[in-house]
Structure 1
């Protein structure tokens, strides 16, 4: 058996994929497993012994003709075709696309041969987007920034491949011997982040380190990061002259960070790859989650994983973070920290009524949970309007064989516009509306009769969800008594 696993996202996503790759190896011990990433992130594959072959998507080679002054599109397409044909010739039995991006869906479809079983995003035979499996449909509808999903991405990967993780799936790799003259005890700070808006400035880190150093004078702090983050490290050192700092920013290979993290008492960092590497070494982690981030999906999975949440636009107080770190070393967790938990939801946090309703609604639709009680009249009215427009659209689809597609299309499109407007006006119902849109996308190409039947099935299932919140009319049935009275 030959399996291809695609992860074309960034470093952190690749490390979050490690347990899934290991799980595939455990499920198919004799399979030949290939793993595809983008070339700039190939350092995140070093030490992943569960794979037999690492393939890099040669994006630089493919796109370089477009960068030239005259932009040779044909040459770029030829190079892409050559790459696809080379990989497609492997004739994979399974392709597992863990990237969940439009581009990856095209690539997955291009690499598929008739015998291939596909998990994750792909394309229908006519080129339209395809979310063929239930987990991919869930990801498309409910996962992302400002979405209600509370399941970690790593756990969604496990669901996609149809397994549950074991402890071995989360083990650290065999660690290399490195001579970096590390202290016996130390904290580690990753000074960067996956994106600039998620990061702390050098000034903020410096103030945090300076405050902490005054509380713990003899506790060394090891700084890690990429070469382009060297200036941040220099500013930290300048602003915390009394701190015991070991500066390794830009001085290590990606793989060596595993050893640094394994020996560390605590990792402190924003959303980034080391957070997920620390999950594999089970290093206690304080994740400073800043701004437009869904920490439920990408937070630390270490046993002692803690999140300090700073909402977008909220001012960061570095000394506050320094105090939280000091408290952790004293064995106390600040009440503002979001704690790692076990189970379906990875973190414990008090949420608003609207957020709780949305997540409970997701669990009802996908996991067989109880539908949440609607405590606002807007929810009932929104559901009633959706039910009404859904009935109207079903009637229009039923008219297609008689009147034709062109005659009813304007009415159907108008109905879709109403549904979108209700999604904005009644956010509690958005998970249900997003489910509806995902199911509509899943309708496969076919004859007009097949497409109509599949579409009507989506509307019928939508109606069943809606009816939970639509008051039923009292129907009084008059029964004639035996003696003729009513």
Structure 2
């Protein structure tokens, strides 16, 4: 790629990446970061990110600066009028940090008002974002990019790079788990006597609560996967999700279930997911983290389109009912049948089938009814329904 020709009107000496949240979307921006680091080895690269996702970038090779937006702190101060001067001071400190980096170009991979303001306040002479950004944020860009139709979330930042003359392909980037996190998880797995681990992650963020699968179905799935006594089923959880994981574990009727450890940092969770033989979860940050790590993934989807938000890895299965009302753009639903109609038995069959396929690639067909399971393979989305045998 040494002969590529970036846009001569843009200086890439000091590159600012803006992807503040959410965790899954920050993970989807890692391939773009990897390309920038590879193609501009002498450039300085900074990443603006929110505090709740910032640990994803801990010890990330090639990242020169991390500018953290203190979302949690500011939300706490917003309810206290007497603390508003302090909140203003914190906001001004973010502006100062952005300016201090002196970016020559800012890539806004998020595309809303908050992220676009980061680009504008940074002072970068070149600000690149999507032409139809949310909330009219495109007015802050002087390089607007029209996307080639609905694309996977991994592809979106890559299209911004290509528009700037930077070649980019959707390859899975390396992600190293720090030794301290790896050792902590290995010690925990030994302590609980885990073997042939299957990780079930029943939670989502509160914002994405409509994407959750009923807790009692997670319990039933745990029973099915632990029934032979040869596996440990770990119910993983993140901030605000412990109660969901505990309820799912408590509903199991067979032995073999374990409540996952607290994971205060994203790399700690990554260390756990890397040890799994398979990960089962809804559309969430942990699912996309598992995909990044190359862990086999079973994704349970309902309100979101799998071809845009699905797991981006080689070994994965998406179960999506494709109801007439989905995908949708709603944030709440009184009767989320798109998730409720997924049954534990079909998820268990898909899990066993994926593990069999990994062990024996020739075993492509499993007992999954046509229309129940969408199989996907490769680094992108080559999707087709398997015929029932």
2:307 to 284, 296, 316: 296
Tell me how far 1:230 sits from its aligned partner: 2.1
Q: Does 1:348 align with 2:351?
A: no
1:253–1:243 distance in 2 versus 1, CA, 3 Å? farther
Structure 1 CA distance for aligned equivalents of residues 178 and 20 of structure 2? 25
Q: Which residue of 1 aligns with 2:198?
A: 187
Q: Does 1:90 align with 2:101?
A: yes
Q: Which residue of 1 aligns with 2:235?
A: 223
1:316 to 317, 342, 353: 342
Q: Secondary structure at the match of 1:278?
A: helix
Tell me how far 1:232 sits from its aligned partner: 2.2
Tell me how far 1:208 sits from its aligned partner: 1.6
Q: Could you report, residue by residue, the CA deviation over 1:36-82 in whole angstroms, capped at 9, with x for unpaired residues? A: 1111221222242221111111345556554224685x775565344
1:276–1:103 distance in 2 versus 1, CA, 3 Å? same
Structure 2 CA distance for aligned equivalents of residues 128 and 348 of structure 1? 33
Alignment check: 8 A CA contact 2:298 2:350 kept: no
Structure 1 CA distance for aligned equivalents of residues 90 and 292 of structure 2? 37
Structure 1 CA distance for aligned equivalents of residues 95 and 128 of structure 2? 18
Q: Does 1:239 align with 2:262?
A: no
Structure 2 CA distance for aligned equivalents of residues 174 and 226 of structure 1? 18
1:338–1:133 distance in 2 versus 1, CA, 3 Å? farther
Bigger fraction of residues in helix: 1
Alignment check: 8 A CA contact 2:249 2:258 kept: no
Q: Which residue of 2 aligns with 1:338?
A: 374
Q: Which runs of 5+ in 2 are unaligned?
A: 1-12, 324-335, 358-364
TM-score by length of 1: 0.61
Alignment check: 8 A CA contact 1:192 1:229 kept: yes
Tell me how far 1:329 sits from its aligned partner: 3.5
Tell which deviates more after alignment, 93-102 or 233-242: 233-242
Structure 2 CA distance for aligned equivalents of residues 253 and 111 of structure 1? 28
Alignment check: 8 A CA contact 2:56 2:265 kept: no
Q: Secondary structure at the match of 1:40?
A: coil
Q: Which residue of 2 aligns with 1:8?
A: 20
2:221 to 208, 226, 234: 208
1:165 to 160, 166, 169: 169
Tell me how far 1:269 sits from its aligned partner: 0.5
Instruction: Map residues 27-176 of structure 1 onto 2, 5 A cutoff.
Output: 27-60=39-72, 62=74, 66-69=78-81, 72=84, 76-77=87-88, 79-113=90-124, 116-121=125-130, 129-130=139-140, 132-133=142-143, 136-138=145-147, 142=149, 149=150, 151-162=151-162, 163-165=167-169, 167=171, 170-176=173-179
1:246–1:60 distance in 2 versus 1, CA, 3 Å? closer
1:249–1:319 distance in 2 versus 1, CA, 3 Å? farther
Alignment check: 8 A CA contact 1:210 1:239 kept: no
Structure 1 CA distance for aligned equivalents of residues 78 and 143 of structure 2? 35
Aligned residues: 331
Alignment check: 8 A CA contact 1:101 1:121 kept: no
1:166–1:235 distance in 2 versus 1, CA, 3 Å? closer
